[in-house]
Amino acid sequence: MSTNIRGDKTRAQVLDAAWDLISEKGADVSVSNIAVAVGISRQTIYLHFGSRGGLLVALVRRADERFQIKEQFDAALNLPQPKDRLVRTLQAWLAFVPKIYPVAKDLIRLRDTDADAATAWADRMDELREWLLDLMRSLQRDGALKDEWSPEHASQFFWVQTSVQAWGLLRKDCRWSEEVIATNLELVLARGLLRDDTGN
């Protein structure tokens, strides 16, 4: 087995173990905790990721790769009809949120007191907002975005309405089903952002 293959395998094992551990115990677990779970030294983790912050950023990026969210957003953006683009993006995101929720909610909880958690969360949210901005620019280009919305404000509105925090409140606190959340968010976003003459 080559050094690169061994390295890739160890990296994947570390990220998978870290995901499982954080899902169970929270994002404030230490590098030592993760090393014990994987059965390697702390030094090996630092060799692969540089720091705990580097590990957390790699962890959340791996979730994107594992669940292919970027590919789904790209597919949605390439749809010819504006409303289809909006709805497919929403569907892709709402299918992704339950998968990342156990880790994401803890990164959100810690971000005010844990710089590493804040960096990891900001890394993913910055990219998400860029994807949403591309979507809204495409809607404006095709004359589908309501005149009162700039692409920037429309993307921010979409981001807030569909945030992990909002999803958690609706799903866990209000006990809405995932289907009810999706149906109502689609209604709110389509009515709020798209021109009335925008068809399917």
Q: Report residue 77 CA to chain centroid gap.
A: 17
Q: What is the pLDDT of residue 9?
A: 57
Tell me if domain 3-58 and domain 64-193 are identical in fold: no
Asked if 168 and 105 count as a contact pair (C-beta separation under 8 A), the reply is yes
Task: Fill in the amino acid letter for 50.
Answer: G
Quick: pLDDT tens for 127-144: 999 999 999 999 999 999
Superfamily of domain 64-193: Tetracycline Repressor, domain 2 (1.10.357.10)
Report residue 178 as tokens: 């995932």
- The span from the CA of 64 to the CA of 71, in Å, is 9
Fold of 3-58: Arc Repressor Mutant, subunit A (1.10.10)
pTM for the full predicted model: 0.86
How many Å is the maximal CA-CA distance in the chain? 60
Q: Tens of pLDDT along 77-88?
A: 999 999 999 999
Residue 12 is predicted with a pLDDT of 80
pLDDT digits (tens, 9 = 90+) for 29-84: 888 888 888 888 888 888 889 988 899 999 999 889 889 999 999 999 999 999 99
Give the DSSP per-residue string, the chain: --HHHHHHHHHHHHHHHHHHHHHHH-TT--HHHHHHHHTS-HHHHHHHHSSHHHHHHHHHHHHHHHTTHHHHHHHHHT-SSHHHHHHHHHHHHHHHHHHHHHHHHHHHHHTTT-HHHHHHHHHHHHHHHHHHHHHHHHHHHTT-B-TT--HHHHHHHHHHHT-HHHHHIIIIIS---HHHHHHHHHHHHHHHHB-TT---
pLDDT in tens, 148-183: 999 999 999 999 999 999 999 999 999 999 999 999
The reported pLDDT for the residue numbered 5 is 37
Instruction: Give residue-wise pLDDT tens across range 94-118.
Output: 999 999 999 999 899 999 999 999 9
| In the chain, where the domains are located | 3-58, 64-193
Nearest CA to 161 out of 140, 139, 190, 198 is that of: 190
